[in-house]
Amino acid sequence: SAPGVAFEILKDHFGESYVKTEISSPKISLDQYSGVSGEYDSIIGGSSVKDKKIYTVLINRDWDEDLTTKISLEGYSGDVNYSMYLLDAPALNSSLDDISFVPTVQNKITANGFDVVIPSMSSVVLEITKKECIPTCSGKLCGENNGCGGKCTNCPEGKYCDTGDWLCKETSPSRGCSIADINGKSDSSDGEVNAYDLSMVLSNWKCTTGPNCGKADIWGKDDKKDGEVGPFDLSRVLSCWKK
């Protein structure tokens, strides 16, 4: 058939690499046409990659009915956009130049599989694009999930990632950095609460968003003006800053 010939042409011209494609297909009885017992798939197809897009060709070999098939593509389980074209090959020996693509559907699906309706004895081409995932590591610990199924890497273990380039950035600890510097003066025992050097704390912690994060909370109590130094609640500082 013309769709079958077109399918072979598409494979030869558009395929850079192939993508495993699962297609649900109703069966057609051979008795219906040849008197021989048996069945064959009414829908066949395949997928290949070109220019970072997947092209899926689906052929409905049923002479009488439009058919709906569910397809799924290996590695394309996230948000997927697709445009569907009805493939028109006017003759059995149609060349690539003779084949036209008539737009029929544009859609976005968020499931691993999606339904496609194919007219009887016709072929459709799906042009499928996957939403690009941009890794996000800013403010995350080295080794945490980057939001795209991978991990934040190229960083010292236990360090937080730098905002600029998604890579973790190691900072040199300040003079006398210890639990004692967070809880009290450097000459106090670890864990002993005392008046302490705020600059030591802030040199080892960096600002993040928090429920009480603001200049007033860093420099003084809420009743102090921004920049006014006064006694303050350490827990407020630590709720807004990460080590």
Hey, what amino acid is at 222? D
* C-beta separation of 73 from 126 below 8 A: no
- Collect all residues with Cβ–Cβ distance below 8 Å to 152 and sequence separation of at least 6: 135, 137, 140, 141, 142, 143, 144, 145, 146, 161, 166, 168
By C-alpha distance, which of 203, 185, 187 is closest to 195? Answer: 185
Euclidean distance between CA atoms 62 and 118, whole angstroms: 10
Coil, helix or strand for 101?
strand
Beta bridge partners of 69: 116
Q: Which pLDDT score is estimated for 189? A: 47
Tokens of 237: 């500082």
Euclidean distance between CA atoms 226 and 199, whole angstroms: 16
* C-beta separation of 168 from 155 below 8 A: yes
- How confident is the chain (243 residues) per 10-residue block, as mean pLDDT? 54 62 77 66 79 79 82 67 72 57 66 74 78 72 76 71 48 36 42 42 43 41 43 44 43
38: left (phi over 0), alpha (psi -120 to 50) or beta: left
Domain 2-130 grouped into CATH 2.60.40.1180: yes
To the nearest 10°, the Cα dihedral for 42, 110, 149, 144? -160
- Collect all residues with Cβ–Cβ distance below 8 Å to 103 and sequence separation of at least 6: 83, 84, 85
* Neighbour-count burial for 190-221, b at 16+ CB within 10 Å, e otherwise: eeeeeebeeebbebbeeeeeeeebeebbbbbe
Q: Which pLDDT score is estimated for 158? A: 67
Considering only CA atoms, give the Rg of the chain.
Answer: 31
Q: Which pLDDT score is estimated for 16? A: 56
This model's pTM is above 0.75: no
Q: Which pLDDT score is estimated for 34? A: 59
Euclidean distance between CA atoms 212 and 122, whole angstroms: 63
Q: Which pLDDT score is estimated for 235? A: 46
Domain boundaries defined on the chain: 2-130, 134-170, 179-242
